[in-house]
Amino acid sequence: MVTQPNIIVVRFAELSTKGKNRKQFITMLRQNIQEVCKGFPSCKVQQAYDRIYVLVNDENASELMNRLQDVFGIATLSLAYQVPLAINDIIDAAFTLIQKEPVSTFKVITRRMNKQFPLESDEINRAVAKKILQETDFVVDVHKPQVKVLVEIRHHEAYVTVNTIEGAKGYPVKIQGKAMLLMSGGIDSCVASYLSNKRGIEVEAIHFASPPYTSDAAKQKVLDLAKVLTRYQPFIRLHIVPFTDIQMQIAMNVPESYRITVMRRFMVRLAQRLAEQRRCKALITGESVGQVASQTLESMSVINEVTTMPILRPLVSFDKTEIIEIAKKIGTYDISIRPFEDCCTIFTPVAPVTKPLLHKAQRFESKLDIETLIEESLAATEVVMIRYNDAKEEDSFF
Amino acid sequence: MDAINQGIYLDYASTSPLLDEVLEATQVLLPQFYANPDSLHTPGSKMAALQQRARKQIAGLLGCQDHEVIFTSGATEANNMAIKGIALANQAKGKHIVTTAIEHKSVMSAITQLVDHFGFECTILPVDAKGNIDLHQLEASLRKDTILVSVMAVNNEIGTVFPIDTITQIVKRYSKAYMHVDYVQALGKIELQLQRVDAASFSGHKIGGLKGSGVLFKGQNVPMLPLLSGGQQENYQRSGTSNAIANITFAKAMRLAIESQPVSYRKATRWKQRIISECKQIEGWACISAEDASPFIISMAYPKVPSQIMLNALDQKGIYVSAISTCSTKSQQVSYVHQAIGLSDDRSRSVIRVSLSSMTKDEDVEAFIQAYKEVIFHGYST
């Protein structure tokens, strides 16, 4: 009799996709799960028709479960005992598992795919329930049980599980190709990245740094945030684009109220160039309508004018409180609120225009040598690869 | 110094030497990582990141959330924080606390303060000769106004192991009380049972970490009044500049302790049997620790040689053990734990405590047995 749950059952999300897409979906999900499992060397990933199984082996099962909860494309996950096809083993496994739960109500549900198994589903239910009723204080509730004991009779083995937890849902990351995220280091852009991942988009990030007006700590903050985001996609390519010269030029040549608008137009131009180089199909921003002056519909349209690439705005209709809630859930909030200046906050005018006009923006920009500025910035761009499983010097402290 | 290093240390329940792994990490950290983790500059945020990683690692080992791990200066503080903090924050719901007669002094005294100065009531559950409580009595002691039950996982003097899972189930079934567990002597020694426990205290230096490192696990929904109020550290629950290096290395010590627990448990079981089978041939000798007690703590009595004399005699032979709880060595009274298990005063005065850990070696145990017998049979003059 095994004493530790030894297998994780992964069930797929969004299986409304069919045919060839379905196959692609499952292959991508399996690859993503395998990538996560690299951090757990002894575990093995197995694919069945409608499930993926992760054999825990010598790994820490709850850590592995935690990691898999961050993988998009998974509907639900259960930590299960894989036991031989014998009723006594099934009963023992169910009994061991339920004792770890707080005493409440339960129900046994059996799926008997293997019709050769001598007992019928209902007989299995009764046999398992009998032992639990006799030896614990659990009571049966078939309508609203607190704990569901699931028994799956398959062809070569049976699976027994008690707690089914929710997966991250959505599509496997990468299935929709890549997009370029404008990442400030604030709360919103990280949430935008997470939500894009959720729909299967792989994210590359671009960050605008304005040294010496922004500090190394501000850059570190972005690196730390990207590190957190690698929980949801295995690695992130972060482009750090120097922005000081452009900002100085804007500050010298553009009236104060239009500086933000023009600055945002430059950011989008730079992002588009990089996106094209990196074969990204869209840009992503953390904008939410009306949140600040540059995020009114008028501003968006003036800023949007510089690119033909679609700009995805996953947060467009979210309230700030909703965004903060997600940021806390995904683990970026505490880093995002570290109080460092980013390039947007330093040159913030007292009264930015909320309804900029395109022709005015264009007229102000005509004083600048846009092409040269962009070329120079891109030439000095630094690329950092951030991986979830990076080995670091500090690992030896732990 | 050399004399100490050459001796045989069998007092791990008091404290432990540093683990080599902890020493190495400390030697690298100490000169470079001096910054305050709450500072916003680069060294500060680097420190904060390391401390956060330590917190995460500990949360993973305990199976809780990061923010449920509160770093403290040790287990005495963790016990005080949990008991006084939870009692004071929940006194509107009731002022009754339940504990056992053989808790650590830091639990006993914290509760006594609450009773003497803040109008709380306390039921102290008596124990039998093995140190076990009667679970029916526990059930009967729970009242409508019981807000806190504090029980240790392993007793520090006689090694009694309390069935924490069962006790927690009883507490949760028959009352609304919060459950606090003092896990100091259990960490790395026996398997932790944290299911449905609301608060639990851990000490770093007992498992080869630095002195001054401790952790209180406190469930996020458990109201607690901070004892040390001030700055934002530990989410305002324990203010004061973080002892970051102690906290960081505690994570490592805890990982090593938990990883090596099954192996050390098997070894300790063997050593305990070895000591008992050798010593029980001595007439009048008695093992005070029960058979099913933690194998890491072996309390024994030989009435003809008082503890203090035995301690000195063993000390001269370079073997270091304790008599009773090291936290009470300065008081002249007999141990309240010994009284609680019904040991006569005479017997109590002849008890010594041998305590083991994963660092103990076979030779240490053999050397102790030989020296102990020598003292008994040949007197202690060298």
Q: Which helix (H) or strand (E) holds B272?
A: helix B244-279
- Tell me the C-alpha distance between A36 and A388, whole Å: 9
- Tell me the C-alpha distance between B365 and B18, whole Å: 20
Instruction: Please give the structure tokens belonging to residue B142.
Output: 């729970």
Coil/strand/helix, residue B323: coil
- Tell me the C-alpha distance between A364 and A356, whole Å: 12
**C-alpha distances in angstroms, B53 versus A59, A333, B56, B251?**
20, 16, 5, 9
The CATH T-level fold of domain A178-397 is Rossmann fold (3.40.50)
CB count in 10 Å sphere of residue B345: 11
- Tell me the C-alpha distance between A297 and A288, whole Å: 10
Q: Are strands B146-152 and B96-100 parallel, antiparallel or unpaired?
A: parallel
Q: ipTM score here?
A: 0.77
Q: Which CATH architecture has domain B2-17+261-375?
A: Alpha-Beta Complex (3.90)
B-contacting residues in A 117-146 (Cβ below 8 Å):
137
- Tell me the C-alpha distance between B13 and B11, whole Å: 5
The torsion angles phi and psi of B202, rounded to 5 degrees, stand at: -135, 150
Helix pair angle (A259-277, A244-253), 10° resolution? 150
pLDDT cut 70: percent of chain A above it: 95
Closest CB to B42: pick one of A100, A216, A394: A216
Let me know if B327 is a catalytic residue.
Answer: yes
List Cβ neighbours of B273 (8 Å cut-off, separation of 6 or more): none
Task: List the single residue in A with minimal CA-CA distance to B23.
Answer: A397
Q: What is the mean pLDDT of each run of 10 residues along chain B (382 residues)?
A: 68 95 94 90 87 93 92 97 97 97 97 97 96 96 97 96 95 95 96 91 96 96 94 92 95 95 95 95 94 96 90 92 70 84 90 95 95 88 50
Would you list the domain boundaries of chain B?
A: 2-17+261-375, 20-256
How close is the nearest chain A Cα to the Cα of B42, in Å? Answer: 6
List Cβ neighbours of A359 (8 Å cut-off, separation of 6 or more): none
The CATH T-level fold of domain B20-256 is Aspartate Aminotransferase; domain 2 (3.40.640)
List, as one string, the DSSP characters of A17-49: --HHHHHHHHHHHHHHHHHHHTTSTT-EEEE-S
Contact A396 B28 (CB under 8 A): yes
A243-296 pLDDT, tens digit per residue, is 999 999 998 999 988 999 999 999 999 999 999 999 999 999 999 988 887 789
A interface test, pick of B26, B27, B40 with most A CB neighbours within 10 Å: B40
- Tell me the C-alpha distance between B216 and B78, whole Å: 5
Task: List the single residue in A with minimal CA-CA distance to B255.
Answer: A398
B151-189 pLDDT, tens digit per residue, is 999 999 999 999 999 999 999 999 999 999 999 999 999
Q: List, by residue range, all CATH 3.40.50.620 domains of chain A.
A: 178-397
The mean pLDDT of A197-206, rounded to a whole number, is 96
Closest CB to B169: pick one of A103, A220, A221: A103
pLDDT value at residue B382: 46
**C-alpha distances in angstroms, A5 versus A81, A97, A360?**
5, 8, 66
Chain B residue numbers touching A396 (CB-CB < 8 A): 24-25, 28
- Tell me the C-alpha distance between B113 and A165, whole Å: 44
Task: List the single residue in A with minimal CA-CA distance to B60.
Answer: A63
The mean pLDDT of A214-224, rounded to a whole number, is 86
The mean pLDDT of A146-172, rounded to a whole number, is 89
pLDDT value at residue B381: 54
List Cβ neighbours of A390 (8 Å cut-off, separation of 6 or more): none
Chain A residue numbers touching B54 (CB-CB < 8 A): 398
B269-324 pLDDT, tens digit per residue, is 999 999 999 999 999 999 999 999 999 999 999 998 889 889 989 999 999 999 87
Ramachandran bin of B58, using left for φ above 0, alpha for ψ from -120 to 50, beta for the remaining angles: alpha
| Strongest mean pLDDT among A211-215, A230-234, B148-152 | B148-152
The torsion angles phi and psi of A199, rounded to 5 degrees, stand at: -90, 20
Closest CB to B45: pick one of A60, A217, A394: A217
- Tell me the C-alpha distance between B268 and A210, whole Å: 60
The torsion angles phi and psi of B300, rounded to 5 degrees, stand at: -145, 155
Confidence check: pLDDT of A311 > 80: yes
The CATH T-level fold of domain A7-166 is VC0802-like (3.30.2130)
Taking a C-beta distance cutoff of 8 angstroms, is the pair B156, B293 a contact?
Answer: no
Contact B196 A224 (CB under 8 A): no
Taking a C-beta distance cutoff of 8 angstroms, is the pair B160, B297 a contact?
Answer: no
B2-17+261-375 and B20-256 in the same fold: no
- Tell me the C-alpha distance between B382 and B341, whole Å: 35
- Tell me the C-alpha distance between B199 and B206, whole Å: 19
pLDDT value at residue B1: 37
pTM of the model: 0.69
- Tell me the C-alpha distance between A131 and B283, whole Å: 49
**C-alpha distances in angstroms, B144 versus A59, B94, B97, B137, B197?**
43, 8, 11, 16, 19
Q: Where are the beta strands (DSSP E) in chain A?
A: 7-12, 44-47, 51-55, 74-83, 105-112, 139-140, 147-153, 158-166, 178-182, 202-209, 235-242, 283-284, 311-312, 382-387
pLDDT value at residue A96: 86
CB-facing half-sphere around the CA of B276: CA atoms within 13 A = 19
Q: List, by residue range, all CATH 3.30.2130.30 domains of chain A.
A: 7-166
pLDDT value at residue A218: 85
Instruction: Please give the structure tokens belonging to residue B124.
Output: 């102290």
